[in-house]
Amino acid sequence: MDTVGTASIHFSAVAGRSSLADIARLAGVSLATASRAMSNSYGVAPATRARVLRIAEELDYVVSPEASRLARGAVGRVALVVPHVDRWFFGAVIGGLEAELSDAGLDVLLYHVGDADDRRDFFHRLPARRKVDAVVVVAFEVADAERERLERMGVLVVAAGGQDEVYPGVRIDDREAGRRAVDHLLFLGHRRIGMISAVDPDQPVAARPHGRDQAYHDALRDAGLPIDDELVVTIEWSGVAAADAMAALLSLRSPPTAVYCHSDELALGAIRTIRRAGLRVPEDLSVIGVDDHPLAELTDLTTVAQPARDQGVRAAHLLLARLRGQGSPQHVVLPTRLVIRRSTAPPREV
Amino acid sequence: MDTVGTASIHFSAVAGRSSLADIARLAGVSLATASRAMSNSYGVAPATRARVLRIAEELDYVVSPEASRLARGAVGRVALVVPHVDRWFFGAVIGGLEAELSDAGLDVLLYHVGDADDRRDFFHRLPARRKVDAVVVVAFEVADAERERLERMGVLVVAAGGQDEVYPGVRIDDREAGRRAVDHLLFLGHRRIGMISAVDPDQPVAARPHGRDQAYHDALRDAGLPIDDELVVTIEWSGVAAADAMAALLSLRSPPTAVYCHSDELALGAIRTIRRAGLRVPEDLSVIGVDDHPLAELTDLTTVAQPARDQGVRAAHLLLARLRGQGSPQHVVLPTRLVIRRSTAPPREV
DNA sequence: CTGTTAGCGCGTTCAT
DNA sequence: ATGAACGCGCTAACAG
């Protein structure tokens, strides 16, 4: 697909003039000793070590990662596979991962695998092969066929965010999160509750029922309420689509008095439609989201908060522990919590 | 399912366990030929090449990047230095960069340099040294001292987003963007216009006057309007802080009839305060932002749009051109445009 | 077109 | 404590 462009690129080698050999010569020691000094190995006289380090410092010397890794066999890098980079949640998880990983001295390679083409390409070519010690799938549903390909990389795989059950990882309980949202609406007295449900068209694993969907059904059933299919609209993951979905709900003979949205972004889309219809939130209609996106605070949106950055941080810890051969929990489930703002209220008296 | 097929092969089926030597032996050719075949070099008989590739495929062979790069002298990697990963604009730029760079066969290393500590550490240790062919600073103001450190890496540096003037790069004209915003408010008839101005406390280069600030002064001056310092509030880059700033503006003896915010996020903060005060947007007060954040569309916010992802894409192109030794423009300035929605209107008749 | 032979820069046994 | 030498896996001359 890009072979032509790629083949013609010639990278100019540069940087780091000096090599370990230079350092060794200048320090008057052998290459072996210089190497040991640089890597803090045992068996080097403090004095010699100091001398070597000083020379290296002066020469602005840096060990060649390629050579070092070639000789050593390890790589010291981990790949992050992400379906989105421009959505808050993903960015936050990536941020958490990056912080911990780079703190541990690992380099972070970023692989953005967005649409179906990207996916096919990524799992077919496995561009990260031989380049990393581990890969983290960020809120990414790995299909069975893809999983098989991933195996061939022969490296540790960890999941951060998302609902993956196969790889060790960190996540929230989507069912619990959704339940908190719907239960809150029920508690406020709503009996006719709509749901705007989102699926990612590029995530092939849509088969498995989504926890946030189940929560809706669970909550209504437990409240002894009937499920009205009209009240559920399933769309792709986009605020604009949610705005349209809300319009559909408002076109019902008997519209809902409250709407549960799978995410804050969707909730904002829904609110736009409600306002354009001349109705007020929450007086005329309540809306609740999930995520606690930073802008939810600014838009006074009631939501169920999930720790985003923290999922990345914890996933990194889990990854590091396993890389070191230490034991670590298979799955870490982080808590969610209801954040009440001003987009929800009891239903209007009829 | 294709690995162990050839009975005569005794190598383990584990990915990446075989070397070029194995391939060469099995294909009955020399190492050199195998290498040429793998790298698509000229001078290999189609038949031999095919044979080599088939064997490689069967063995699930992947060239060792370390060895290859060590021998070749280049690295095929570029570092992205970013101050934020969880803000839309940065994510979008990163997305654009990643797409083009990985298409060109380059790996992308991510370095999140957030607060002052991160910066000091990054520029002191230069963890990307010898690991990359180039570094991209994403909307990042590089201080002079830092610039000097960066030089020592001896690699190409490119800027994406931000207002860097030193490195070749891609950006928008902040002054123009701001001008569009303020001019629009003036055109609507506003004469008392406030500004919520943001600075990043972790960006040490706050000294240089910000283009979005200048635009405000330029526009008012050109309109023959006086500058009232009371109407300008400078805060850190946060929606919550903007909400407070808006409160300050509303506490004035003579509040503005319209507010120009340096970003959409700030605008949303301002709007929250306005609404909480029982006032309506835009009937009582107009608000305009800059960016065209995806949520601006959902919140019906009038704003000046800037191409985010595209700045990344173009910066990548510029980078690739230079890596190839081709000429390329020093600075690319992308256009901005006013997007009128429902947060601005003519001032109320007094 | 293909094979031989040097390195690339460093880690790591072995000796000493 | 230190040094010599080999090997990591591959690419790039240079022959043939």
User: Minimum mean pLDDT among A168-182, B17-31, B235-249: which range?
Assistant: B17-31
Digit-coded pLDDT (tens) for B209-256: 689 999 999 999 999 999 999 999 999 999 999 999 999 999 999 999
CATH architecture of B73-171+309-334: 3-Layer(aba) Sandwich (3.40)
Query: Between B90 and A43, where is the model more confident?
Result: B90
Q: Which of residues 60-119 of A touch strand C (CB under 7 A)?
A: 63-64, 67-68, 70-72
Domain(s) labelled CATH 1.10.260.40 in chain A stretch across: 2-61
Residue A70 approaches strand D within 7 Å at CB: yes
Residue B185 distance to chain A (closest CA, Å): 23
Determine the length of chain B.
Answer: 350
Q: A145, exposed or middle or buried, with CB in 10 Å at 0-12, 13-18, 19+? A: exposed
Q: Does A144 touch chain B (CB under 8 A)?
A: no
Amino acid A17: pLDDT: 65
More confident residue, A251 or A327: A251
Give the whole-angstrom CA distance, residue A311 versus residue A235: 26
Cα A169 from Cα A158, distance rounded (Å): 5
The DSSP string of A70-134 is HHH----EEEEEES-SSSHHHHHHHHHHHHHHHHTT-EEEEEE--SHHHHHHHHHH-TTTTT-SE
- Which chain B residues contact residue A64 at CB under 8 A? 70, 130
Beta bridge partners of B9: none
- Count the helices and strands in chain B (H runs, E runs): 13, 12
In the complex, which nucleotide's C1' lies nearest to the CA atom of residue B72?
D11
Q: What percent of chain B has pLDDT over 70?
A: 93
Picking from A106-115, B6-15, B143-152, B220-229, which range would have the lowest pLDDT averaged per residue? Answer: B6-15
The bridge status of strand A302-305 relative to strand A337-339 is antiparallel
pLDDT > 50? residue B15: no
Closest CA to A178 of A216, A220, A232: A216
Is residue A257 within 8 A of residue A321, CB to CB? The reply is: no
Cα B65 from Cα B41, distance rounded (Å) = 17
Q: Which amino acid is it at B45?
A: A
Any A CB within 8 A of B323 CB:
yes
**Residues in chain A, total:** 350
Where residue B169 falls among pLDDT bands split at 50, 70, 90? Answer: very high
What pLDDT sits at residue B157? 95
Task: Please state which CATH class domain A2-61 belongs to.
Answer: mainly alpha
With H, G, I as helix, E, B as strand and everything else as coil, classify residue B281: coil
Least confident of A187-191, A204-208, A248-252, B88-92: A204-208
What are the start and end residues of each CATH 3.40.50.2300 domain in chain A?
73-171+309-334, 174-306
3-state class (DSSP) for residue B82: strand
pLDDT at residue A11 is higher than 80: no
The reply to whether CATH 3.40.50.2300 applies to domain B174-306 is yes
pLDDT tens digits, one per residue of B111-129: 999 999 999 999 998 999 9
Shortest CA distance to B288 belongs to which of B244, B245, B257? B257
Rounded Cα gap, residues B133 and B324, in angstroms: 11
What would the pLDDT profile of B271-282 be if each residue is shown by its tens digit?
A: 999 999 999 999
Give yes or no for residue B4 having a pLDDT over 50: no
Side chain identity at residue A192, one-letter code: R
Distance between CA atoms of residues B230 and B233, nearest Å: 7
How does residue A60 score in pLDDT terms, banded at 50, 70 and 90? Answer: confident
Give the C-alpha distances (Å, rounded to integers) separating A10 from A131, A149, B74, B322: 20, 30, 8, 10
pLDDT value for B93: 98
Q: Is B129 on the interface with A (CB under 8 A)?
A: yes
Residue A333 φ/ψ, nearest 5 degrees? -115, 120
